[in-house]
Amino acid sequence: MSRVEASAEPEVVEPQGWSALRLLLLLLPLAVACGVRPDPRIADEFHERLQAPARGFRSVPCRERAAKVEALRELVWLGHDLRARIREFDTMPPPQLHARMMAAPLRGSAADVRCIVRDLHGADPKEQADFLDALPLIANLLVLECRVLLSQGRLEDGWAHVLEALALHGGFRGFGLEQHLTLLDVLRAIPPLLDAHPPDPATLERLSAAVDATRLDAATICGATRHDLLTLAVTGLRVHFGQREREAMAKRFGLAHAMRTWKSPWPGQLGRGEWMALRGAYDAIVDGCAKRPLGHALQRAAASMLQLDSWHPPTAVRLRMIADRLNRVGVLTDTQITVLASLRARWLRATQGRDPTTAELALSFGRRPRNPWDGRHYTFVVVDGVLTVVRGPYRHEVVLPPA
């Protein structure tokens, strides 16, 4: 036997079936790690937060809801056609969609659409179109039709459509904050229309009241954010929840929303670590939310959001999207107050024939407006036909038409 042969290690022959058994033993820890057993502590802690009073959030029953849904169903499909084709108000829809838009019963629809959207407990996603999802699309249709009517010289009809678009977002009750924030598109469309097609003083007053009705108070913003965070928790952790949590969600937010949340495509199998991070962010944002600037709440939640980044990045991204809505509330409020100040300055000019004083403009708000994001108040100055709106670092100038 050669030296090489003598030093060779003997061949190891595994018993029959041993390879498969060893592979199973290697995969067992992975299988255990992938399985999530329901944790009653998570259910109890979630239920405790679900039971807290939902200030700024309520469902409002809608009389004759089914008839309203049937009468306005076509607007939902027309809105979805708009989503696929239109990106800016300066872009008119193609001829076929334009004809449908002009023939649709848009004017006078806002009250019924809002009635449907607010009735959470009457919603039936199997039988009824999703009016909440379509609400911003219908508002965009109203603005597009307004532009056509104004270009035809039909000022009263055109501005009535803008009033309808604003009414869709008026009296927000805390459900669908993401959809409400699309009001920003409607508000940004108003200033150029004011310059091109100045309305009469009575219409200016109605526009001012309609914009004012879209403003959000802190309790409503916080209630809407709390709802979104609870929904996120269900989609990520529903493996831990049982009948008690299902019934509590249905009682609070409506059966249709609860069922849709439980059937979401997200697996719902996150564990204790993800819940601790999500719970930390929830508590940081929700506790005392209405008593401090929204920006401070986001700062308090930053550490928990970073922690969730390491535990489960997809859920962390969804949490940041919810948190970012608070930032967008600040941008929306800046635009609301600027448009309001412009409308009131124009009205004071039209009725008094001169530039309004700073005091007159401030008094037109009743109480000095404040941005909920940073808690800072707005100031207004009109000099030589230029209105300046200031809030901390925010500064916007509006050139008023000749008196």
Residue type for position 4:
V
pTM: 0.86
Give residue 10's pLDDT band: very low, low, confident or very high (50, 70, 90).
very low
Distances 275 to 28, 262, 263, 333 between C-alpha atoms, Å? 25, 17, 19, 32
User: Mean pLDDT across the chain, nearest whole number?
Assistant: 86
Q: Of all residues in the chain, what percent carry a pLDDT higher than 70? A: 89
Chain segment 361-377, per-residue pLDDT in tens: 888 888 889 999 999 99
Give residue 35's pLDDT band: very low, low, confident or very high (50, 70, 90).
low
Residue type for position 347:
W
Q: Going along 78-193, which residue ranges are E strands?
A: none
Structure tokens at 248: 């509590």
Question: Helix %, strand %, coil % for the chain, to 5?
Answer: 65, 5, 30
Chain segment 314-359, per-residue pLDDT in tens: 999 999 999 999 999 999 999 999 999 999 999 999 998 888 888 8
- The SS3 call for residue 134 is helix
The rounded distance, in Å, linking the Cα atoms of 239 and 244 is 13
Q: Do 113 and 69 touch, CB atoms closer than 8 A?
A: no
Count of other CB atoms within 10 angstroms of residue 368: 11
The per-residue DSSP string of 5-26 comes to HHHSPPPP-PPTTHHHHHHHHH
Predicted confidence at residue 99, as pLDDT, reads 87
pLDDT at 276 over 60: yes
The per-residue DSSP string of 304-346 comes to HHHHHHHH-HHHHHHHHHHHHHHHHHHHHHHHHHHHHHHHHHH
